[in-house]
Amino acid sequence: MGEIVGVGLVSHAPPIMMPQETRFALNDGKEITLVPGLKQLRSEVIDVLKPDAVIVFDTHWFSTVEFIITGHERRSGKYTSEELPRGMKQIPFNLKGDASLAKLAAAEAVASGVPCIANDDPYLPIHYPTINIAHFLHSDERDEAWLSVSVCQTGTTKNFLDVGKAIGEAVKKSGKRVVLLASGGMSHRFWPLDELIYHEASDPIHVFTPEARAADEQRLAWFKAGDHASVINNMDAYMEHKPEGKFAHYLMMASAVGGTECKATGRLFGEYENSTGTGQVHVWFDRPENGWT
C-alpha cells in the first residue's frame, strides 16, 4: 500500500529566485528567510524521505471546467515567467512524471463526483509555483516524479476537499511513497504599483492590512497545534483576506491526509514574511507515528 510520507505548505514567492544581491537590496540589506528555509527543508526533510513522487498543488495553474493533473512521462525545457521575466527567466527544468499515478488520481476524483483529467500534452504550460519549488527541492540524483495539480477556478471549498481526498486514496492504491506540496501563499493582496516600492521588505508589517496579517497568524497558530479542523471550518472568514487561489492548495493537501480529522502539527522552515503585501511561509507537517488522523 502506498502512503503520503509528508506534506507541506510552501511559498513560491518570486524573490526566492532573484540573485542574492537583489534580495538583499529589497530587504534592507539582509536575506529573506524563505530561501534558507527551502534549503533546510530539502536537506532535513526531502533528502531524508526520498519520496517516489512529489505532487504539487499549483496556485498559478487555473483550470475552469475540471481539475487537471499532469500525466507526462517527463517535462523538460526552460521556463520564463510572463509575470516577472526580470526575476524568473530561462530556468531549466527536467522533471520525471508518473502517468499511472496521475491517471489513478484523476479516476478517483471522477469517482467521487469531481470532473478531473490527467493530461500529457507536450505543450501544456508549466507554472512557477511548480518551477520555483522544484528548483530548490527536486533532486537529479533521486529523479523522483513531479506532478502538478491545477486549481479549478470555478471550484468551491468542498470541491477542493473532495479532490484532495481522492488524491489521498489514489496514493494508497499506488504503492508509492508520496510527498504533497501546497505551493502558494496565505493572504494575497498586492500593494498598488505606486506604493510597492515602500513595501518590498520581508517584515510582516508590510502585509497588506493588519487584519490580513492577524488572519494569517491565527492560521499559523492552528497549524502549529495540528488544528486543521479550525482552518477548514473557518474558510468563509479567511476568504475576506483573499488567500491565494482560494487556499485550494492547502485544502487539497490537508484533505488528502484526513482533512478536519488530521492532527499533524506544523513546523516552520524560515519565518512568516511579507512579499509585496502577501503573506508567505513554509510550514511542514510530518506524518505522525500513528497515522495522519
Note down pLDDT in tens along the chain; length 293 residues. 999 999 999 999 999 999 999 999 999 999 999 999 999 999 999 999 999 999 999 999 999 999 999 999 999 999 999 999 988 999 999 999 999 999 999 999 999 999 999 999 999 999 999 999 999 999 999 889 999 999 999 999 999 999 999 999 999 999 999 999 999 999 999 999 999 999 999 999 999 999 999 999 999 999 999 999 999 999 999 999 999 999 999 999 999 999 999 999 999 999 999 999 999 999 999 999 889 98
Q: Which helix (H) or strand (E) holds 287?
A: none
Q: Where exactly are the structural domains of the chain?
A: 3-286
pLDDT at 293: 87
- CA distance to 16, 111, 165, 186, 246, per residue, from 251 (Å): 24, 19, 10, 12, 9
Q: 99-111 and 157-174 helices cross at what angle (nearest 10)? A: 130
- Per-residue pLDDT, 212: 98
How does DSSP classify residue 262?
-
Residue 166 identity (one-letter amino acid): A
Q: Please determine, looking at this structure, whether the domain spanning 3-286 carries the CATH number 3.40.830.10.
A: yes
Provide the 3-class DSSP secondary structure of residue 148: strand
Those residues with Cβ within 8 angstroms of residue 60's Cβ, 6 or more apart along the chain or in another chain: 12, 127, 128, 129, 245
Q: Are 23 and 35 in contact (CB under 8 A)?
A: yes
Q: Which amino acid is at 226?
A: G
